[in-house]
Amino acid sequence: MRDVLVIGGNRYFGKRLIDRLTAAGDRVTVLNRGSAPPPAGVIHLVADRDDEAALNSALGDRTFDVVVDQVCYTPRQAAIARRVFGGGRSRRYVMTSTVEVYEYEDSLVYEDTVVPVREDAVDPLTVPVRLELPWHKPEFRETHYGEGKRQAEAVFAADDVTGDSRDAGDYGDPVADGTKFPYTAVRVAHVLGGDDDFTGRLDHYAQRIRTGTPIAVPTENRPATYIHVEEIADFLFWVVGEEFTGPVNAASHGLLTTEELCAVVAWHIPDGRTVFQNVDVGKVSPFSFARSYGMDNSRATELGFTFGHVQEWLPRAVAETLGSDRGAGPGPGG
């Protein structure tokens, strides 16, 4: 039996991960702020993960084989986590990261290519960490989501993040100690599926197709990689049982364009009309990208995980989220 701590994770693929862990017989502890009850059969700890003293108090003398951090968004949160869970409290730390770490100012990673990007395109050891930025402000975190995740990865990857919480406000400055932190950063592709998809992104398309409202997309609209909500839960469960460290991409095989996605959505709305509007500036629809968001999943594949193909599960994912009476329908182009 493994002792696994999940930080956050009370909704979407986080709750599916918890279900898999408990079904496997693991002892699961869920830590959150208490705003939502955890699934049955788990130990529940309540603390604000931004409050280092409260986090230490809630954890007490507990130790874990693996920590799965579903809600680490900033380098400040990562620095606290490293101090709290370093020194033997956890044998391994799994951070849920994002494909958006590959998009940053002056980045050329996706600018002129649709070749899926590998993990070494963003090396956390080379990412500068700026704890002084206003990471405590929700609007700043939201507009710097990819940057926050990228710097959080950098904190976990570095040799020098222990520190004292009295330094740099309540968050601590990095202080060299020469130790390695056993972390894995799961860079998750765009997630689709489930009747509990809270993002509203597929509904965005459904509403516009239903009314014939133009769907704003970039003039150069690039494809992206995706993963089904059940598949990312499977992947995280698999990662818990592995020993590898460092960044790993989590994405189904195959690229998907906005047009292909809308074709499946439109199948569920037979009286609808799909109208695209190309825009060079301004806000575009979700899942439409001026840069390619394709990730190479070969590292995870070589380590032993078997991904599905996006075109195999996409019709089911759309049907789950839209709740259509028409069923799963055809695949893209079907």
pLDDT at 28 over 60: yes
Select from 264, 275, 283 the least CA-distant residue to 321: 264
Question: Cα–Cα distance between 6 and 291 in angstroms, integer?
Answer: 33
Say how far apart CA 100 and CA 148 lie, in whole Å: 10
* Average pLDDT along the chain: 88
Residues 6+ positions from 333 with CB-CB distance below 8 Å: 260, 263
Residues 280, 216: Cα–Cα separation, whole Å? 10
- Report the alpha-carbon distance of residue 155 to residue 216 in Å, rounded: 37
Give the separation between CA 162 and CA 261, rounded to whole angstroms: 45
* 213-243 pLDDT, tens digit each: 999 999 988 899 999 999 999 999 999 999 9
| pLDDT given for residue 171 in this prediction | 41
Percent of the chain with pLDDT over 90: 75
pTM for the complete prediction?
0.90
For residue 106, what pLDDT is reported? 47
- pLDDT for 111: 55
- What's residue 300's pLDDT? 98
Question: How sure is the predictor about 173, in pLDDT bands with cuts at 50, 70 and 90?
Answer: very low
108 versus 149: which is more confidently predicted?
Answer: 149
- What is the pLDDT averaged over residues 153-171? 61
pLDDT of residue 290: 85
The tens digit of pLDDT for each residue in 268-319 reads 999 999 999 999 888 899 999 888 789 999 999 999 999 999 999 999 999 9
User: Would you state the pLDDT for residue 248?
Assistant: 98
Maximum average pLDDT range among 106-120, 152-166, 188-202, 228-242: 228-242
d(CA 280, CA 278): 7
| 66-107: pLDDT as tens digits | 999 999 999 999 999 999 999 889 999 999 999 999 985 445
